[in-house]
Amino acid sequence: MSEQELPPQYITASNDLRSDTFTTPTKKMIEAAMNASIGDAVYGEDVDTVTLEQHVARMAGKEAGIFCVSGTLSNQIAIRSHLYQPPYSILCDYRAHVYTHEAAGLAILSQAMVVPVIPSNGDYMTLEDIKAHYIPDDGDIHGAPTRLISLENTLHGIIYPLEELVRIKGWCLENGLKLHCDGARIWNAAAETKVPLKQFGEIFDSISICLSKSMGAPMGSVLVGDAKFIKKCNHFRKQQGGGVRQSGMMARMALCNVDDDWRGKLLYSHKLAHNLAKFCQEKGIPLESPADTNFVFIDLRKAMMDPDVLVKKGLKYNVKLMGGRVSFHYQVTEQTLEKVKLAILETFEYAKQHPFDQNGPTKIYRSESTEIDVEGNAIREIKTYKY
């Protein structure tokens, strides 16, 4: 896919592999925004916002949806709206974004204890993993009973097997637990498996459906669920300062891509990721997890590769990286794929002479880019962070 047609003043994401959050609005989206509705969305009067909410809810087979300015807000108000009367706990994967990257929202907004689980298969929690960590509400006053399970699909780019989701759902129903999905990349799972969003909607009580990752919108998510639940989410959204006014421009930009060939765009990014994963396998470069969709997680620790060296090698080839996670999206060019292969291979070879024993896992997500020049193209340094 050729580089997206963007106005010259816009920074291109064609060489940005730090995250699919770096996708940039296209000219078509910006032109659409100029014709967006301008009602006050807090009063439910913005036509494009309501259209987006209803459209995404319908796709997911849910009664209602609510536009949130971020996936973090969407996740946190969803989980809070499912919970009553602490003490209680939430069970999730130890890598879950709601646990690792939402600034302790579960503790602060939901006053919840979190039980982070390391999947026994290394990739995704099975029902057996959940049962082994579930805290029953059996009257024992020492415990914080499990009230909700939060799953991520995809997580680390890994697709959750549908049959496992169905097993977990059945058990949640038997035990009166709520099931939330952080669907920051649910579109990627749907595109790769051809499972319609509606089928995920039948499994989860709520889904945070991000528009700002691989779907390319500048911001936002639509949280979907039953009407009574979404009404309560609206209450918490307002409390958390997420009641936005003329959000029609953002909604209209998101609708551009939701109504476009989003599957084709996402499958293109998956093809690039699969190509890189195959390359790494051929060169003996270890991966942390299967590259099911748009992410390739290089196992830096196993390869004793220094993340800072990898980032600098990336900049040498004018490719932006921020650690071992290589994130593809539809705006990445095939030229960038070939360049990142060179950066990774050079870092892998360098590690053989200069093994890097990182003291603890590198934050594969976080970085800070410094000294962006006025054109926004030549980032001279990207710092990575350690846990």
Ligand X SMILES: Cc1ncc(COP(=O)(O)O)c(C=O)c1O
Q: Of the two residues 36 and 189, which places its CB atom closer to ligand X in the complex? A: 189
Q: Of the two residues 4 and 19, which places its CB atom closer to ligand ALO in the complex? A: 19
End-to-end Cα spacing for the chain: 36
Query: Which of 196, 203, 135 shows the shortest CA–CA distance to 169?
Result: 203
Query: Which of 14, 9, 41 shows the shortest CA–CA distance to 27?
Result: 9
Cα separation, 134 vs 147, in Å, equals 9
Cα separation, 17 vs 19, in Å, equals 6
| Residue 293 Cβ vs ligand X, minimum distance, rounded to whole Å | 12
| Residue 122 Cβ vs ligand X, minimum distance, rounded to whole Å | 18
Residue 239 makes CB contacts below 8 A (sequence gap 6+) with none
Q: CB burial class (10 A; 0-12, 13-18, 19+) of residue 173?
A: exposed
Find the part of the chain contacting ligand X (CB under 6 A) among 2-10, 67-75, 122-130, 354-362: 67-75
Binding partner selected for residue 46 from ligand X, ligand ALO, none, CB under the kind-specific 5 to 8 Å limit: none
Find the part of the chain contacting ligand X (CB under 6 A) among 40-48, 162-170, 208-216, 351-359: 208-216
| Residue 253 Cβ vs ligand ALO, minimum distance, rounded to whole Å | 19
Query: Which of 295, 301, 303, 323 shows the shortest CA–CA distance to 383?
Result: 323
Q: Does 71 bind ligand X (CB under 6 A)?
A: yes
Residue nearest to ligand ALO (CB): 19
| Residue 314 Cβ vs ligand ALO, minimum distance, rounded to whole Å | 16
Residues at the interface with ligand ALO (CB under 6 A): 19, 21, 97, 101, 365
Residue 253's CB is within 10 A of a number of other CB atoms, namely 28
Binding partner selected for residue 247 from ligand ALO, ligand X, none, CB under the kind-specific 5 to 8 Å limit: none
Binding partner selected for residue 306 from ligand X, ligand ALO, none, CB under the kind-specific 5 to 8 Å limit: none
Q: Which of 56, 151, 184, 203 binds ligand X (CB under 6 A)?
A: 184
Q: Does 358 bind ligand X (CB under 6 A)?
A: no
Q: Which of 212, 214, 362, 367 binds ligand X (CB under 6 A)?
A: 212
Question: What kind and span of H or E run contains 325?
Answer: strand 325-327
Q: Does 182 bind ligand X (CB under 6 A)?
A: yes
Q: Of the two residues 96 and 256, which places its CB atom closer to ligand ALO in the complex? A: 96
Furthest-apart CA atoms within the chain: distance in Å: 63
Binding residues for ligand X, how many (CB under 6 A)?
12
| Residue 278 Cβ vs ligand ALO, minimum distance, rounded to whole Å | 23
Q: Of the two residues 171 and 365, which places its CB atom closer to ligand ALO in the complex? A: 365
Query: Which of 138, 132, 106, 135 shows the shortest CA–CA distance to 118?
Result: 132
Q: Does 70 bind ligand X (CB under 6 A)?
A: yes
Binding partner selected for residue 182 from ligand ALO, ligand X, none, CB under the kind-specific 5 to 8 Å limit: ligand X
Residue nearest to ligand X (CB): 71
Q: Which of residues 7-46 bind ligand X (CB under 6 A)?
A: 21
**What is the residue-wise DSSP string for 232-265?**
HHHHHHHHTT---SSTHHHHHHHHHHHTS-HHHH
Sheet of 206-210: strand order equals 64-68, 221-225, 206-210, 178-183, 146-152, 89-93, 113-117
Q: Of the two residues 210 and 305, which places its CB atom closer to ligand X in the complex? A: 210
Query: Which of 334, 338, 210 shows the shortest CA–CA distance to 262?
Result: 210
Find the part of the chain contacting ligand X (CB under 6 A) among 55-63, 107-115, 206-214, 258-266: 206-214
Binding partner selected for residue 212 from ligand X, ligand ALO, none, CB under the kind-specific 5 to 8 Å limit: ligand X
Dihedral sign of CA atoms 113, 63, 73, 81 in order: negative
- Cα dist from 373 to 379, 381, 384, whole Å: 7, 11, 19
Angle between helices 47-59 and 248-258 (to 10 degrees): 40
| Residue 331 Cβ vs ligand ALO, minimum distance, rounded to whole Å | 15
Q: Does 66 bind ligand X (CB under 6 A)?
A: no
Interface contacts to ligand X, rule CB under 6 A:
21, 70-72, 75, 97, 152, 182, 184, 210, 212-213
